[in-house]
A and B are shown apart, each in its own frame.
Chain A
């Protein structure tokens, strides 16, 4: 292909494509675990990505993934406030989660059902965490962000991140001990 004359808006868009869009799956996963269902999560991600595009000029070469996740998380928080009755606490629906699984490559039926049971327990334990703890745990254990990055995403002091992770982990420990035995 012939190099086209640099149109700044095209250039900006392709830069955005290359730096931010690779993290779309992570954004979706976080939104899904915050919102608890696909339809809301997709709305949140779509809004967040367009917002990210709008503010892309302010993005100054720090890591793109935590940057995008911060926008997703903030969009999610205000989206849930706007669109949901306040007293409803939405958590992920493990029944829906079942659909999302990639097909297993056939271990024995017992292994399969044990595996499924375990996954259910894990999903349920995470879904049951209070939202503040849940997002901190997801950012740490699934997204593998540092405390400093999590503090930036959640806009709380590092000490708060520390205690949310510690308490979230304790809750999971108790839940899973009861469940898995």
Chain B
């Protein structure tokens, strides 16, 4: 159909999206296909729209609900029935502070496009430091005291779904002290405790894919070292200094790689 047939042109080309989205009935769809035979512009557009749809369905980032969110929702549902449903917000002060700080940074930098938020990793790191600190304060550093990984590892079975990776690092100077069950964010996870001289190192682990190089943070005066290997995201927390925790990480990573 040509540009010189204004009504037909407009009617038909305008139906392209309806046709592409399956919104035309059979008769109208057939009529549109007739138009397609004669309109190269619509044919080109249709091919490109198909391509765009394919990209949107296969390449566009999809963000699924995290386990943490599921848990918060589940417990929100447990706690309340149809009347009065106050929203249970994530309640940690440091999280609110982090979000507030990010917002201040965003507003003061005048940017509207990138909004810095604490990443999931940083939420974990903070949660883990809090858990480690709580354990130290309560004098409750271990639930199962043993220097044998064959005792420590089985102790967790039935207490958490995470089967911890426990390594014997005595030779490297980091004897195993034991393990405890901690709840750094919203689920119980194993913390394996090693000694580094006069300090303790708590090593937390949760299932995660991939391998990443160790990254050192200082949070509340604690050295926090995170990395991924062997199907886990590990976070080591200690009041020992960063270099010492780094040595521990190297020894552990080497052992873990052997055990894989």
Whether A126 pairs with B115 at a CB distance below 8 angstroms is no
**What is the interface of chain A mostly: helix, strand, loop, or mixed?**
helix
Q: Which residue of B lies closest to A16 (CB)?
A: B77
B59 contacts partner chain A, Cβ-Cβ < 8 Å: yes
A3 contacts partner chain B, Cβ-Cβ < 8 Å: no
Q: Which of B53, B59, B60, B117 contacts A38 (CB 8 A)?
A: B117
Least CB distance from A91 to B in Å reads 6
Q: Which of B49, B69, B113 contacts A93 (CB 8 A)?
A: B113
Whether A176 pairs with B55 at a CB distance below 8 angstroms is yes
Whether A100 pairs with B77 at a CB distance below 8 angstroms is no
A101 contacts partner chain B, Cβ-Cβ < 8 Å: yes
Q: How many residue pairs, one in A and one in B, have C-beta atoms under 8 Å apart?
A: 144
Report A18-43 residues with CB < 8 Å from chain B CB: 21, 24-25, 27-29, 32-33, 36-43
Contacts of B93 in A (CB 8 A): none
B158 contacts partner chain A, Cβ-Cβ < 8 Å: no
A39-B118, A147-B23, A166-B17 given as contacts; is B55 within 8 A of A122 (CB)? yes
Whether A173 pairs with B48 at a CB distance below 8 angstroms is yes
The residue among B77, B78, B89 with the most chain A CB atoms within 10 A of its own CB is B77
Q: Which of A38, A57, A97, A118 contacts B120 (CB 8 A)?
A: A38
What's the Cα separation between A150 and B89 when bound, in Å?
29
10 closest A-B pairs by beta carbon, nearest first, are A97-B61, A32-B63, A28-B65, A25-B64, A141-B56, A24-B65, A37-B117, A122-B59, A166-B17, A39-B117
- Residues of A whose CB lies within 8 Å of any CB of B are 9, 12-13, 16-17, 21, 24-25, 27-29, 32-33, 36-43, 45-47, 49-51, 53-54, 56-57, 85, 88-97, 99-103, 115, 118-119, 122-123, 126, 137, 140-142, 146-147, 162, 165-166, 169, 172-173, 176-177
What's the Cα separation between A54 and B70 when bound, in Å?
17
Whether A89 pairs with B112 at a CB distance below 8 angstroms is yes
Contacts of B73 in A (CB 8 A): 21, 24, 45-46, 49-50
Q: Hey, what's the 0/1 contact readout for B53-85 against A, CB within 8 Å counting as 1?
A: 101110111111110111011001110111001
Contacts of A162 in B (CB 8 A): 17-18
B258 contacts partner chain A, Cβ-Cβ < 8 Å: no
B210 contacts partner chain A, Cβ-Cβ < 8 Å: yes
A-B contact sample (10 more), CB < 8 A, given A24-B69, A93-B114, A137-B56: A9-B82, A38-B63, A39-B117, A50-B77, A103-B210, A147-B23, A166-B17, A172-B52, A173-B48, A176-B52
Contacts of B5 in A (CB 8 A): none
Whether A122 pairs with B56 at a CB distance below 8 angstroms is yes
B26 contacts partner chain A, Cβ-Cβ < 8 Å: no
Least CB distance from B29 to A in Å reads 15
- Residues of B whose CB lies within 8 Å of any CB of A are 17-18, 21-23, 45, 48-49, 52-53, 55-57, 59-66, 68-70, 72-73, 76-78, 80-82, 85, 87-90, 99, 107, 112-115, 117-120, 209-210
Least CB distance from A137 to B in Å reads 7
Least CB distance from A75 to B in Å reads 10
Q: Which of B49, B85, B114 contacts A53 (CB 8 A)?
A: B85
Whether B76 pairs with A46 at a CB distance below 8 angstroms is yes
Whether B49 pairs with A9 at a CB distance below 8 angstroms is no
Contacts of A56 in B (CB 8 A): 82
What's the Cα separation between A39 and B96 when bound, in Å?
10
What's the Cα separation between A27 and B65 when bound, in Å?
8
Whether A42 pairs with B66 at a CB distance below 8 angstroms is yes
